[in-house]
Amino acid sequence: MTSPLTRIESHPHESKRLIGINYDQFLAFVALAEQRHIEKQAEIEKNQTRIIAKGGGRKPEISPKEGICLCLVYLRQKPIFEVLGLLFDISKTKANDAFNYWVDILREILPASQIEEVESDSQKYQELQRILSEYELIVDSCP
């Protein structure tokens, strides 16, 4: 079975279908997430007492790029973690752990909602409320 990341890299035009963003956006997103990942690892390293020398121990099973792709595939397709693990050739537990790690990093990178961004500035908040009140929301509740 071909990994979704391998498929995206060999057929960039299919990235929109698989992960919901185009290939250029994916690469930019990966760069930002990897930078935040390095910063987070440096913070962890500062507070960690080492028993094993740096560089020792088990290597990660998936690269940061694969972890980000795994997270985006899950958010787009919503497979169970067992299937996600099969897609990326890891266990379902590793898939779950990777998803939870990368989704926290992606939350830090992605912008907050417009309301959360302007909550502290009352003038901007009122302006946003005025703009949003101009829209009409229609809900269809038929089964």
The model's pLDDT over 52-103, given as tens digits with 9 standing for 90+, comes to: 777 777 777 899 999 999 999 999 999 999 999 999 999 999 999 999 999 9
Q: Which amino acid is at 57?
A: G
For the stretch 35-73, what's the b/e string if a residue is b when 16 or more beta carbons lie within 10 angstroms of its beta carbon?
ebbeeeeeeeeeeeeeeeeeeeeeeeebebbbbbbbbbb
What is the band of 121 on the pLDDT scale with cuts at 50, 70, 90?
confident
pLDDT of residue 1: 66
- Taking the C-alpha atoms of residue 74 and residue 91, their distance in angstroms, rounded to an integer, is 15
